[in-house]
Structure 1
Amino acid sequence: MIFVNLPTTDLERSKAFYTALGCDINPLFTDENAACIVWDDDTFFMVLTHGHFSQFTDKPIADAHASAQVIVSFMLGSREEVDAKIAAGLAAGGSEPRHAQDYGFMYQRSIEDPDGNNLEFGYMDPQAAEHGPEAYVAEHGAGPDPVPGA
């Protein structure tokens, strides 16, 4: 199992954002200090208030709007799923910090949650996933990069 711990300044806002992305909340591990966001059977986000998050580290909590420490990436089944996930996140208060990246064999879009934490959603052509990007490029050529306005 994978647990990604993310600090938040507004727990209710974070819960609304992640449920808009299609996640569930596990009430057994959710209270006024933390929410257990269920991505799938093995992947969870523990969204923690700053006070609660600080109990797990002696380091200062970074302002994710000003600096990046991690990008959590998920591969989805199609480009359309990527676009739908980004649209849902934008509607729930997220922001898209950069244009879509289209490498031909792989399509990626990034979104920041309302606290500035970076999420990335992508689709990789099955041929490239199985044989590597070079095999895809050899057969299809390289794709455009980036996709303006996407």
Structure 2
Amino acid sequence: MAGSMIFVNLAVKDLDRTKDFWTGLGYSFDPIFTDENAACLVISEGHNYAMLLTEPFFNGFLSKDKTAADATATTETMIGLSADSREEVDRLVDAALASGGSAIGEPMDQGPMYGRAFQDPDGHHWEVMYMDMDAVQQQGEQAQ
């Protein structure tokens, strides 16, 4: 489906802290969809966004028998971000750690694929990956 966009909705405990965290990683917010209840994190302009919603606001969208998961106690999702290089993976994750995030596991280095993971201050699991598509394609051709 051409032109589709993705909006990931995540509950956050402290919206200002969350905005400061993502600003520290170099991301911006769409002011049209940002207020005291929500912040629209621009991941890839025109394509991918994360709606960071205060827990009470987030819970208002759920059925009465459910509430937002506590991401510090359970993993409700793993969100992947692509990077243009290994250095960009390291820059983003290092910035996340310096802004109040915490590392998840060890870096994953599998030749043409490199990635690291972090948990944001609300406990959400983020994976940052770089894939050298030329090297992947060469491996695929060699395997044939």
* TM-score bin (small chain): 0.7 to 0.9
Unaligned runs of 5+ in 2: none
Query: Among the aligned pairs, what percent are the same residue?
Result: 45
Aligned to 2:115: 108
Secondary structure in 2 matching 1:116:
coil
Q: Which among 24, 28, 34 is matched to residue 28 of structure 2? A: 24
Once the two structures are superposed, the pairs formed by residues 113-128 of structure 1 within 5 Å of their partners are 113-128=120-135
8 Å contact from structure 1 (residues 36, 45) kept in 2: yes
Answer yes or no: is 1:39 the counterpart of 2:46.
no
Identify which range, 73-82 or 54-63, moves more after superposition: 54-63
Aligned to 2:62: 57
Q: How many residues align?
A: 136
Normalising to structure 1: TM-score of the pair? 0.84
For 2:33 and 2:133, how far apart are their aligned partners in 1? 36
Give per-residue Cα distances to partners, 1:25-76, cap 9 Å, x unaligned: 1111111111111112111111000000001112221111111121110121
Answer yes or no: is 1:78 the counterpart of 2:85.
yes
Structure 1 residues 8, 128: CA separation in 2 closer, same or farther (over 3 Å shift)? same
Structure 1 residues 13, 92: CA separation in 2 closer, same or farther (over 3 Å shift)? same
Structure 1 residues 60, 87: CA separation in 2 closer, same or farther (over 3 Å shift)? same
Give per-residue Cα distances to partners, 1:85-107, cap 9 Å, x unaligned: 00111111111121111111211
For 1:74 and 1:45, how far apart are their aligned partners in 2? 12
Unaligned runs of 5+ in 1: 139-150
Aligned to 1:10: 14
Q: Which structure has the highest strand share of the two? A: 2
2:12 maps to amino acid = T
Q: Which among 103, 107, 113 is matched to residue 96 of structure 1? A: 103
8 Å contact from structure 1 (residues 127, 135) kept in 2: no
2:126 maps to amino acid = L
